[in-house]
Amino acid sequence: MPALSQKNQQLEISGTAIAGTPKGFLRIFAALHYRNFRLFWFGQLISLIGTWMQTTAQAWLVLELTHSAWLLGLVGALQFLPVMLFSLFGGVLADRIPKRTVLLFTQSSAAIQAALLWILVATGTVQLWHILVMAVLLGITNSLDMPTRQAFVVEMVGRAELPNAIALNSSLFNTARIVGPGIAGLLIAQLGVAPLFLLNAISFLPVILGIALIDSSKLLAQVKQATIVPRKPTTIQSLREGLAYVIHTPEVLLIIAVLGTVSLFGINFNVVLPLFATDVLHAGATGFGFLSSAIGLGALLAALGLAWSKRRASMTQILLVALIFCVLEALFALSRWYMLSLLLIAMVGFAQVVFTTTANTTLQIVTPDYLRGRIMSVYMLVFVGSNPVGNLFTGGLAHLFGASISLLVGAGLSLTAAIVGWVLRARTEKSSAVYSNRELAHLSVNCGRSAATHRPE
């Protein structure tokens, strides 16, 4: 992959922003200084709004067809089960194939799936098994798309603006989370769910066009050593190398462990949100849409704050936010007042984004370039891939004991993990966050090849 000029390469390696980077308030938009990232970012804006509209419509459609909390959980579980099974292989793919090519394929596939679902709903032939099959297909697509998309960011902006770019992506995601469910709730009440699937299919066109227009010659690369690769590693060797790095890097391991537990039990409240809107708060479809939007509003404010700040969070700060998230979620589970619930769920969204975004940024900063796709696949495995079990757990508890008890139990289990992480943080902070070159080489030899043979794209 073509690199920048020698001067800019050196600046990227040192972590120094290149000339022309915005200052002051405009610092929030620093990563948009790069044309490739602008194309990627603005292309996703419309697409993600459509995705959130479909997510809201799909949950409501399942509830209309089945009136079952357990089946709501099953649909969510099937959508994320492939991420749990295949995301690690998606990370290997992201480290081997040009990421732009992978993303063109995955985004086009998701557009086709949305169009097929619209046809089924619009013709009145949709059945539960159709939704289940489409959920699995979308999950397979996401198992390739998610780690690739995460690892592609650094190639568009370099290490210097990586924290800002991750925060801007989070702000984009949560802007869509505000707008999408709000529109969806209003459209469902007036027109039903069918138009939302069509709008989602159409919304993929801008992101596909944006990715197609990305200039590969302007993608940023680290300076590579001119080494000879004796043989191409097997997929299993590549997997072992990425997993070994996680296990033997204390900071990475602690983040992955706490994030995985909180994601498994705490960050799956969307599966029971329709039940809170209908059975607990008695707010109907419109109320459900605004509850979802409130989450996005809090998350957006958090993402914009992180985009403005260049400071990397410490392990103590990451775990403190995790503790706050768990407490806020428990309070939401206990609330019976709609306006108070809106406020609490917005605060839950705020805390969730601060926790997950700072964890994501820390992982990408400490990870070597040639391992980034695989480490991001581990991140997506515990963050998203845990959803099948988590959704079944939350949906099953809601079916037996109600939505409030289900969410309260999940918050309690997540809080336990955050407390354990808090106790262990001092030992982690004393450990080196990044291996020395000698340690990396030794680790790679144990996994079947030398780290010196790897070269980023």
Inside any domain, residue 95? yes
Q: How far apart are the first and last CA of the chain?
A: 6
Residue by residue, DSSP assigns 243-298 as HHHHHH-HHHHHHHHHHHHHHHHTTTGGGGHHHIIIIIS--HHHHHHHHHHHHHHH
- The pLDDT of residue 223 is 39
Region 96-124: mean pLDDT is 92
Region 93-122: mean pLDDT is 92
Is it the case that residue 63 has pLDDT exceeding 80?
A: yes
- The pLDDT of residue 225 is 38
Is it the case that residue 261 has pLDDT exceeding 90?
A: yes
356-391 pLDDT, tens digit per residue, is 988 988 888 888 878 888 888 888 888 877 777 887
Are residues 16 and 160 in contact, defined by beta-carbon separation less than 8 angstroms? yes
Give the number of C-alpha atoms closer than 13 A to the C-alpha of residue 248, restricted to the C-beta side: 16
- The pLDDT of residue 310 is 63
DSSP state of 434: S
Are residues 262 and 412 in contact, defined by beta-carbon separation less than 8 angstroms? no
Give the number of C-alpha atoms closer than 13 A to the C-alpha of residue 77, restricted to the C-beta side: 16
396-446 pLDDT, tens digit per residue, is 888 888 888 999 999 999 999 999 999 888 776 665 444 444 444 444 444
Distance of CA 451 to the CA centre of its chain: 28
CA distance 271 to 251: 31
Backbone angles phi, psi at 219, to 5 degrees: -70, 140
DSSP state of 314: P
CA distance 281 to 213: 46
CA distance 146 to 115: 21
Residues sharing a CB contact under 8 Å with residue 24, sequence separation 6 or more, in sequence order: none
At which residue do the structure tokens 């709000």 appear?
182
DSSP state of 22: -
Closest by alpha carbon to 161, among 296, 22, 271?
A: 22
From residue 185, alpha-carbon distances to 188, 196, 204, 337, 345 in Å are 5, 10, 21, 20, 17
Inside any domain, residue 20? no
CA distance 328 to 337: 15
Region 102-112: mean pLDDT is 94
CA distance 1 to 126: 45
CA distance 17 to 356: 24
Q: Is 406 helix (H, G, I), strand (E, B) or coil?
A: helix
Is it the case that residue 113 has pLDDT exceeding 80?
A: yes
Q: The dihedral of CA 338, 340, 341, 346: what is its sign?
A: positive
151-161 pLDDT, tens digit per residue, is 898 889 887 78
- The pLDDT of residue 140 is 92
CA distance 311 to 401: 43
Residue 165's domain comprises 29-221+234-447
At which residue do the structure tokens 């949950």 appear?
59
Closest by alpha carbon to 117, among 49, 200, 60?
A: 200
Of residues 169 and 69, more confidently modeled? 169
Is it the case that residue 134 has pLDDT exceeding 80?
A: yes
Inside any domain, residue 9? no
Are residues 31 and 211 in contact, defined by beta-carbon separation less than 8 angstroms? no
Inside any domain, residue 45? yes
H-helix or E-strand spanning residue 371: none
Residue by residue, DSSP assigns 103-151 as HHHHHHHHHHHHHHHHHHHHTT---HHHHHHHHHHHHHHHHHHHHHHHH
Of residues 405 and 72, more confidently modeled? 405
Inside any domain, residue 226? no
Inside any domain, residue 432? yes
Region 175-189: mean pLDDT is 82
45-62 pLDDT, tens digit per residue, is 889 999 989 988 888 888
**What CATH code is carried by the domain that includes residue 282?**
1.20.1250.20
CA distance 330 to 411: 6
Residue by residue, DSSP assigns 67-94 as --HHHHHHHHHHHHHHHHHHHHHHHHHH
Tell me which amino acid residue 102 is: V
202-221 pLDDT, tens digit per residue, is 999 999 999 999 988 888 75
Inside any domain, residue 15? no
Q: How many domains in the chain?
A: 1
Inside any domain, residue 104? yes
Q: In the predicted model, what is the mean pLDDT of the chain? A: 81
- The pLDDT of residue 430 is 60
- The mean-pLDDT minimum among 137-141, 198-202, 266-270 falls in 266-270
Q: Give the number of residues written for the chain.
A: 457
Backbone angles phi, psi at 3, to 5 degrees: -105, 175
231-245 pLDDT, tens digit per residue, is 677 778 788 888 888
Tell me which amino acid residue 383 is: F
- The pLDDT of residue 141 is 93
Q: What is the CA radius of gyration of the chain?
A: 22
